[in-house]
C-alpha cells in the first residue's frame, strides 16, 4: 500500500516498488514539499522514516514535472535499498529506453555517466553498457524527420510458446488468413505513399514464414524490391524452408532471424516450440548458404534452466558465428503460471547469465548496440542486441531511440510519427483482433494518413 501527495506519479512509484518483489504486507509513503527552493521528500516504510532534500531549479513547467517525478522516485528507491539492503542494477531508473535518456542528457551538454551513476543510482556495469551502445550507434544515429522504417506484422505462429508476450495466433486455427493478407496488402500499398527516406524494412511477428508460400510471396511482392536493410523475423526454425528463403533472396531480404531461444531440447519441448537444437543449427546453415546476415534470439531465465544450461546455449550461438545475437531476459507477469516457477530461480542466477553473455560476446567480437527493458523482467534486467562491427541493425536502433518515422502495417502494429526538433512522438495503433483489423482496414489507413499528413 503506497500513500503519496503526488497521485499523478503513483504508477511510476509503483513500478519501483514492484521491482522489490511481493510487498503486500508493507506500508509505504512518499511525501514531497517545497521549502524555499528546496524540495524535501519524506519517506516511510513500516515506520522507518527517511528524509531527502534536493535543490530545485527548473526552467519551465515540463521540467518541473520531470524533476518532481525523478526526485520522488530517487527518494523511494533510496529508502527501499536502505530498508531491504538491496540495490537494483538500473537503480531508480524505470522505463523502456535508458539509452534515450542518456541521449537527452548528452544533448543538454550534461555528463550522462555522472547523472546515471550519482543521481539515478544506476550501476557502473549498466552505465558502461549504455556508453558502449551510444558509441556503437554513432554511424547510424541520425535525427531526421524524413527518415523512416517500414514495418509489416504477421501475427501468426505454428504454435504458441509458453512464455511469449507478443500477439500471435496459432495459424492452423485462423480462418481469415486470406482476408488478413488482402487487408495487409491494401495497407502496405497505401503506406508506401508515406515513405520519404527509407532506412529499413522489417517483417516481424509472430512468425512471418508460418504463412503458406503463396501468401508470404504476396506480402513480399506488395512491399516490392528494395535495396536497404531488409529483415524477415523468420524466427522459428521449424518453418524455415528452402522455398521461403529463395523468395526472400529474390526480393532483396538481407537479414533473417533464426531464433533458438535455448539450445536445450528439454526446455524447447517444455515451451511448446516445435523444433530441436539440431534443427536450429541445420536451418541456420541453410539460411547462411543463401548469404543472409543472421540474428539469433536467446532468452536468459527460461523455466528449469540454470546458469550452465544458458551458458551452453550462448556458447553454441557464438560458435555458429551469426552477425547478431540478442539476449533477452524472461519477462512474465506476476501471478502467471510460468512466473511462479521463475521466482524460484534466484534473480542472481539470471544476472549471472546476463553478465556472462556480455563478457563472452565481447570476447567473441560482438558489441552491444541497442537495449530495452520491459515490465516484469527477471532480475529487473534488460534485453540487449549484440552485433559484429558494421552489422548493427538500423531498424532496431531507430525503433528504440525513436528518431525516425515508423510506418507500420498489420494487426496491432503501431505507427510512430516523430518530430525530432520538438521531441514529440505520436502513435497510431491498428486493432489487435484479426477480424476487426480486416473489417476496419479503410479506417486504419485513414488514421495513418492523418497521423503523417497533419
Ligand X SMILES: C[S@@+](CC[C@H](N)C(=O)[O-])C[C@H]1O[C@@H](n2cnc3c(N)ncnc32)[C@H](O)[C@@H]1O
User: Site residues (CB under 6 A) for ligand X?
Assistant: 157, 163-166, 204-207, 233, 235-236, 259, 261, 297, 299, 328, 330-332
Q: Distance (Å, rounded) from C-alpha 393 to C-alpha 119?
A: 32
The enclosing H or E element of 294 equals strand 293-300
Q: Distance (Å, rounded) from C-alpha 157 to C-alpha 174?
A: 10
122 binds, among ligand SF4, ligand X, none (CB under 5 to 8 A by kind): none
Q: Which is nearer to ligand SF4, 94 or 267 (by Cβ)?
A: 267
Which residues is 416 bridged to in the sheet? Answer: 406, 427
Q: How far is CA 354 from CA 126, 210, 251, 273, in A?
A: 11, 30, 36, 23
297 binds, among ligand X, ligand SF4, none (CB under 5 to 8 A by kind): ligand X
Binding site for ligand SF4 (CB under 6 A): 157, 160-161, 164, 166, 168, 205-207, 235-236
CB atoms within 10 A of CB 60: 8
160 binds, among ligand SF4, ligand X, none (CB under 5 to 8 A by kind): ligand SF4
Supply the minimum distance, in Å, between the C-beta of residue 298 and ligand SF4.
Answer: 12
Q: Distance (Å, rounded) from C-alpha 196 to C-alpha 145?
A: 9
73 binds, among ligand SF4, ligand X, none (CB under 5 to 8 A by kind): none
Supply the minimum distance, in Å, between the C-beta of residue 297 and ligand SF4.
Answer: 8
Supply the minimum distance, in Å, between the C-beta of residue 205 and ligand X.
Answer: 5
All three cell numbers of 140, joined, read: 547510424
Nearest to 449 by CA among 258, 191, 106, 272: 191
299 binds, among ligand SF4, ligand X, none (CB under 5 to 8 A by kind): ligand X
Supply the minimum distance, in Å, between the C-beta of residue 280 and ligand SF4.
Answer: 13
Q: Which is nearer to ligand SF4, 89 or 208 (by Cβ)?
A: 208
Q: Which is nearer to ligand SF4, 188 or 234 (by Cβ)?
A: 234
Nearest to 377 by CA among 75, 95, 78: 95
Q: Distance (Å, rounded) from C-alpha 45 to C-alpha 22?
A: 14
Supply the minimum distance, in Å, between the C-beta of residue 237 and ligand X.
Answer: 8
Supply the minimum distance, in Å, between the C-beta of residue 340 and ligand X.
Answer: 14
Q: Which is nearer to ligand X, 76 or 325 (by Cβ)?
A: 325
Q: Which residues make Cβ contacts (< 8 Å) with residue 368, sequence separation at least 6?
A: 129, 132, 133, 136, 358, 361, 384, 385, 386
Q: Which is nearer to ligand SF4, 23 or 338 (by Cβ)?
A: 338
Q: Which is nearer to ligand SF4, 98 or 205 (by Cβ)?
A: 205
Nearest to 270 by CA among 172, 327, 337, 318: 337
Amino acid at each position: 500500500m503506497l500513500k503519496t501527495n503526488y497521485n499523478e506519479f503513483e504508477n511510476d512509484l509503483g513500478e519501483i516498488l514492484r521491482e522489490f518483489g511481493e510487498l503486500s504486507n508493507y506500508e509505504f509513503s512518499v511525501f514531497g514539499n517545497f521549502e524555499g527552493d528546496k524540495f524535501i521528500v519524506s519517506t516511510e516504510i513500516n515506520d522507518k522514516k527517511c528524509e531527502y532534500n534536493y535543490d530545485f531549479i527548473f526552467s519551465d513547467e515540463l521540467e518541473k514535472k520531470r524533476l518532481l517525478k525523478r526526485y520522488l522516485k530517487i527518494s523511494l528507491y533510496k529508502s527501499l535499498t536502505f530498508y531491504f539492503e538491496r540495490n537494483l542494477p538500473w537503480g531508480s531508473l524505470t522505463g523502456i529506453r535508458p539509452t534515450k535518456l542518456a541521449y537527452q542528457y548528452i544533448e543538454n551538454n550534461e555528463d550522462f555517466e555522472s547523472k546515471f551513476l550519482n543521481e539515478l543510482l544506476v550501476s557502473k556495469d549498466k552505465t558502461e553498457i549504455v556508453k558502449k551502445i551510444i558509441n556503437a550507434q554513432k554511424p547510424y544515429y541520425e535525427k531526421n524527420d524524413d527518415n523512416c522504417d517500414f514495418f509489416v506484422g504477421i501475427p501468426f505462429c505454428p504454435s504458441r510458446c509458453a512464455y511469449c508476450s507478443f500477439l500471435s495466433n496459432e495459424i492452423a486455427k485462423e480462418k481469415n488468413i486470406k482476408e488478413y493478407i488482402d487487408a495487409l496488402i491494401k495497407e502496405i500499398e497505401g503506406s508506401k505513399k508515406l515513405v520519404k527516406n527509407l532506412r529499413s524494412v522489417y517483417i516481424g511477428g509472430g512468425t512471418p514464414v508460418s504463412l503458406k508460400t503463396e501468401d508470404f510471396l504476396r506480402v513480399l511482392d506488395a512491399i516490392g524490391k528494395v535495396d536497404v536493410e531488409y529483415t524477415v523475423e523468420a524466427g522459428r526454425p521449424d518453418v524455415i524452408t528452402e522455398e521461403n528463403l529463395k523468395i526472400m533472396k529474390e526480393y532483396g531480404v538481407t537479414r533473417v532471424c533464426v531464433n533458438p531461444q535455448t539450445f536445450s531440447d528439454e526446455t524447447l519441448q517444455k515451451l511448446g516450440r516445435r523444433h530441436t537444437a539440431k534443427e536450429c543449427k541445420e536451418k541456420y546453415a541453410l539460411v547462411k548458404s543463401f548469404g543472409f546476415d543472421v540474428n539469433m534470439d536467446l532468452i536468459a531465465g527460461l523455466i528449469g534452466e540454470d546458469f550452465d544450461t544458458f551458458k551452453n546455449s550462448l556458447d553454441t550461438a557464438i560458435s555458429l558465428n551469426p552477425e547478431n545475437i540478442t539476449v533477452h531476459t524472461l519477462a512474465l507477469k506476476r501471478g502467471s503460471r510460468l512466473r511462479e516457477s521463475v521466482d524460484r530461480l534466484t534473480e542472481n542466477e539470471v544476472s549471472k547469465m546476463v553478465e556472462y553473455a556480455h563478457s563472452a560476446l565481447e570476447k567473441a567480437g560482438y558489441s552491444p548496440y541497442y537495449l530495452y527493458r520491459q515490465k516484469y523482467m527477471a532480475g529487473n534486467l534488460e534485453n540487449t542486441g549484440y552485433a559484429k562491427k558494421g552489422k548493427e541493425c538500423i531498424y532496431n536502433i531507430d525503433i528504440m531511440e525513436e528518431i525516425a518515422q515508423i510506418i507500420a502495417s498489420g494487426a496491432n502494429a503501431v505507427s510512430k510519427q516523430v518530430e525530432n526538433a520538438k521531441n514529440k512522438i505520436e502513435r497510431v495503433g491498428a486493432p489487435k483482433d484479426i477480424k476487426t483489423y480486416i473489417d476496419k482496414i479503410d479506417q486504419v489507413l485513414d488514421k495513418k494518413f492523418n497521423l503523417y499528413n497533419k
